[in-house]
Amino acid sequence: MTLSPDTPNRQWILNRRPQGDVRPDDFDLVVGTLPELTDGDVLVRTLFFGYDASQRIWLTDDGGYMDPIMPGEPMRCGGIGQVVASQNPAYQPGQIVEGFMAWQDYAVMRADGPMPLRHLPDAPYPLSWNLGVFGVGGLTAYFGVTDGLKVKAGDTVVISAATGATGSLACQIAKLLGARVIGIAGGPDKCRWIVEHAGCDAAIDYQNEDVGARLAELVPGGVDAYFDNVGGDMLDTLFLHMAPKGRILICGAMSQGYTDVKVQGPTNYMRICTHQLTVQGILLFFYADEIPAAAMQLGQWVQEGRIHVEENRHEGFEKAPELLPTMFTGKAPGKLVLHVADPA
Ligand SMILES: NC(=O)c1ccc[n+]([C@@H]2O[C@H](COP(=O)([O-])OP(=O)(O)OC[C@H]3O[C@@H](n4cnc5c(N)ncnc54)[C@H](OP(=O)(O)O)[C@@H]3O)[C@@H](O)[C@H]2O)c1
């Protein structure tokens, strides 16, 4: 591929900080030129954009656990790309990599930072699965279930946002480890899906059922482990249904919309005291060194047909902004990815 400083580089730029729900018109399409590389930089042509709820946090003034995206900057995302130029000897043109990218045709990447730029292997599965089952969702599910919650055979595990990229894999991994798994999802179709495809033994429809009443019915002895992707009232309800010495993993807070880093905290937290609960957080960054081994284990389960991979795939660079709000409005199950180009 021949590149010159005049090669057009389409970018979706944040034009203003969203107030409340993020909207497609918070972004403008501009055509820039290729950036100059300095020592250590890697220039990547983007192939896939992944969607994560935390992108909404990066759009707040605070930014959460990463620097906030400033108006005038392209929108950050997890992505897959192909190296087209490099000033880092560890990355050569033609190689396929995964890491933090942005909604643009060409992105300058660094190999350092909290999540190093990852070389992707040639593999007999779709490239985009490196954003889903072998990406943030699958890996967080793996570490959350195995290390955070230490799920073991015989546990009763509850998982919220169970159709999501993370939740759907957390359900399957907990089931593989011998747990009884109860998923929580919105609506009868999604509840059916988590039983048929995500390994759940039972489902709770949080939009049409009383979650507390259903937990009392399904788990009268209390929940051993809760993988929390939702926060808010649902977390509060779960506190009342945990078994003594139960474990809670705080992974996300989808119910809070992520429009602000300040979220509704639980009022039933004294259950931590009275029931000797353990509440732990997870951030994939902390497991960076263990990712290759985890990806290998997930790969083996996928190859053996023991994990169902669901992808919610869309096509076309121009769609980037319109897909982001769907993270909070009940998108289809699985990992949301946008295919923007093919490898050269
Ligand atoms: N800590 C980490 O390192 C880490 C890593 C990955 C993800 N996360 C977090 O994990 C959570 C799930 O991420 P994901 O990638 O799996 O997202 P996802 O694929 O978009 O799934 C999110 C699901 O959340 C559900 N949801 C949305 N609003 C809800 C509400 N008000 N109440 C209950 N459920 C709601 C939706 O399902 P329904 O249609 O059933 O409502 C949606 O499918 C997010 O909060 C994300 O930030 C954290």
Choose among 212, 228, 211: nearest CA to 279: 228
Choose among 191, 195, 163: nearest CA to 181: 195
Global pTM reads: 0.95
Q: Which CATH class is domain 136-285?
A: alpha beta
Count of C-beta atoms within a 10 Å radius of residue 341: 14
Percent of the chain with pLDDT over 70: 99
Query: Ligand 1 pocket: which residues have CB below 6 Å?
Result: 52-54, 136-137, 140, 161, 163-167, 185-186, 190, 206, 229-230, 251-255, 282-284, 327-328, 330-331
Whether residue 222 contacts residue 201, with contact meaning beta carbons closer than 8 Å, is answered with: no
Long-range contacts of 117-124 (CB under 8 A, 24+ apart): 117/42, 117/91, 118/291, 119/91, 119/95, 120/80, 120/96, 123/299
Going by CA atoms, what residue is nearest to atom 20 of ligand 1?
Answer: 327
At position 66, the amino acid (one-letter code) is M
pLDDT above 80 (res 337) = yes
Provide DSSP, 78-101.
Answer: EEEEEEEEESSTT--TT-EEEEEE
Alpha carbons 17 and 281: distance in angstroms, whole number = 28
Instruction: Report the topology of domain 9-132+309-339.
Output: Quinone Oxidoreductase; Chain A, domain 1 (3.90.180)
At position 290, the amino acid (one-letter code) is E
Candidate from 57, 166, 256 with most ligand 1 atoms within 8 A of CB, to mutate: 166
Which residue ranges does the chain devote to CATH 3.40.50.720?
136-285
At position 103, the amino acid (one-letter code) is W
Which residue ranges does the chain devote to CATH 3.90.180.10?
9-132+309-339
Q: How confident is the model at residue 35 (pLDDT cuts 50, 70, 90)?
A: confident
**Ligand 1 nearest atom to the CA of residue 250, by list position:** 1
Candidate from 229, 238, 290, 313 with most ligand 1 atoms within 8 A of CB, to mutate: 229
pLDDT computed for residue 116 by the predictor: 77
Average pLDDT over residues 39-55: 95
Cα(254) to ligand 1 centroid in Å equals 5
Write out pLDDT tens, residues 243-254: 999 999 999 999
Mean pLDDT, the chain, rounded, equals 95
Going by CA atoms, what residue is nearest to atom 38 of ligand 1?
Answer: 186
Q: How confident is the model at residue 1 (pLDDT cuts 50, 70, 90)?
A: low
Going by CA atoms, what residue is nearest to atom 17 of ligand 1?
Answer: 164
Q: How confident is the model at residue 22 (pLDDT cuts 50, 70, 90)?
A: very high
Whether residue 229 contacts residue 160, with contact meaning beta carbons closer than 8 Å, is answered with: yes
Going by CA atoms, what residue is nearest to atom 22 of ligand 1?
Answer: 164
287-305 in b/e burial notation, b at 16+ Cβ within 10 A?
beeebeebbeebbebbeee
**Ligand 1 nearest atom to the CA of residue 229, by list position:** 11
At position 315, the amino acid (one-letter code) is E
Percent of the chain with pLDDT over 90: 89
**Which SS3 state, helix, strand or coil, does residue 11 take?**
strand
